[in-house]
Chain A
Amino acid sequence: MVKDYSKYIILFITLVAVQLLVLNNIQFSGYVNPFVYVLFILLLPYKISGWALLLLAFVTGLSIDAFNNTIGMHSSATLFMAFIRPYVLSRFASRENSDRTGIPNLANNGINWFIQYTILMVFIHHFALFYLEAFSFSHFFVTLGRTLLSTLFSSAVIILSQFFVFRN
């Protein structure tokens, strides 16, 4: 149990550091802004209670916000994504893991399931984030383009990271 907590703390610190020091500096043509820290919310255990899920999402979003000068923006988007997570997980019940214990990662559920889960969740997060940032629908398709391209890129990084780093 203690080991699990320390694993999540290390994961949190690593993801926030990677996001701030590496990924925030990636700016292809102003359209691709990967946000990979959402992996922390994706990998929380199935059995986590609702309030813990929401509070962790809030804290994660706020810590990204504090460094990005965007108080409220990332926390709103991350909260929204965390709120939808239980519905997505119950929709996406996989055959390999029908008793639903452990964590929803690639090793437990297989590649197809994980790709679908990641892309859907990341899209929800990025959609909320980019429209909150623009705060209008006046450049609707420009914002949608940024959302889609960034979703693809973030998802790719998240899925690849599952192969190389988090193989537990």
Chain B
Amino acid sequence: MNSLIRFLTRYQYVLLFLLLEGISLWLLAENGYYQRAFFGSFARNISGFVYSQTDKLDQYLELRQSNLNLAAENIALRNDIARLSYALNEYEHSPRIDSLNGVKYQFVKAKLVNNSVNKQHNFITLNVGKKHGIEPEMGVISHNGIVGIVASVSENYCTVISLLNIDLKISAKLQKTGYFGSLYWNGIDYRQVVLSDIPQHVQLTEGDTVVTSGYSAIFPPNIPLGVVGEISNSGGNFFTVKVNLISDFKRLDYVTVIKNLQDEERFNLEKADKNG
């Protein structure tokens, strides 16, 4: 017993270090990046407030750029309206067949209050939360591509797992041929992501557009993400393709959160298949 106490007092510094380091590494390893987002729910309410205050300053500095983006988006929407009103006209004058296909997605506008691109696991904080109907696992897009997926929500804020997070994989396809693969970030360059699992017989050229596949229920199909850059052979029968992102994650400002209104129906159907 005495020798044990002597041992403990002699090496107390090293032992305390090992204990605390053990706790830290356990916290680091135990919490996945989803769960870790929950861990900070206390801090998020404080930091969300602080960040939204400092962000008011940033807004002025970015006004010019966001005006340009809004103008561009306006034009795109106007074009859509012109096209849709034509289609509506056609539809109204054609015989009705069914009224099942209702609205599938609902959009919520949100503003970034915090963002990073320099870590391996980047997160974004938005100024919308439970109050605005936001729930975890909703998709977030900007006017030119995907931003990420909502991780956790508090009353007024939510955190988003950025596309620039090495743990996030989304389903994407080549617009021209329709072949799909999984799209993820390799943690090196914030302007570039990787599209893997494209079979080798597919004809690929640099500059092809990559869009969302719509298989995941989180994002609607055919949102443009980026263009094909360097193509390399990953061994096996698949290409690994570098994709240059259209959106600049350093300049994100206003984004759109997507609510999938038929999500539950689809989820229940797929669950029933799995159980059966």
Residues on A close to B: CB < 8 A? 20-21, 24, 27, 30-33, 50-51, 54-55, 57-58, 61, 66-67, 69-73, 75-76, 79-80, 83, 86, 132-135, 139, 142
Contacts and interface: CB of A to CB of B under 8 A. Distances in A.
9 tightest CB-CB pairs across the interface, nearest first?
A72-B28, A72-B27, A50-B13, A76-B24, A66-B43, A27-B118, A75-B24, A83-B17, A30-B118
B219 interface: no
B24 A30 contact: no
Contacts of A50: 12-13, 16
Given A20-B47, A69-B159, A142-B188, A76 B31 contact: no
B16 A51 contact: yes
A93 B204 CA distance: 63
A61 B117 contact: no
A30 B117 contact: yes
A51 B12 CA distance: 8
Contact of A79 (B13, B21, B39, B40): B21
A50 B17 CA distance: 9
Nearest to B19: A54
Given A71-B31, A72-B28, A54 B43 contact: no
Interface residues of B, number: 38
6 contacts: A27-B116, A33-B119, A50-B12, A71-B31, A86-B13, A134-B120
Interface of B: 12-13, 16-17, 20-21, 23-29, 31, 36-37, 39-40, 42-43, 46-47, 50, 54, 116-121, 123, 159, 186-190, 250
Contacts of A54: 13, 16-17, 20
Contacts of A51: 12-13, 16
B190 A30 contact: yes
B20 A133 contact: no
B187 A134 contact: yes
Contacts of B54: 21
A10 to B, nearest CB: 18
A162 to B, nearest CB: 26
B190 A79 contact: no
A75 B17 CA distance: 12
B250 A76 contact: no
Nearest to A146: B118
Contacts of B36: 69-71
A65 B187 CA distance: 20
B114 to A, nearest CB: 9
A86 B186 CA distance: 38
A80 B21 contact: yes
Given A20-B47, A69-B40, A76 B118 contact: no
B167 to A, nearest CB: 10
A133 B116 contact: no
Contacts of B188: 139, 142
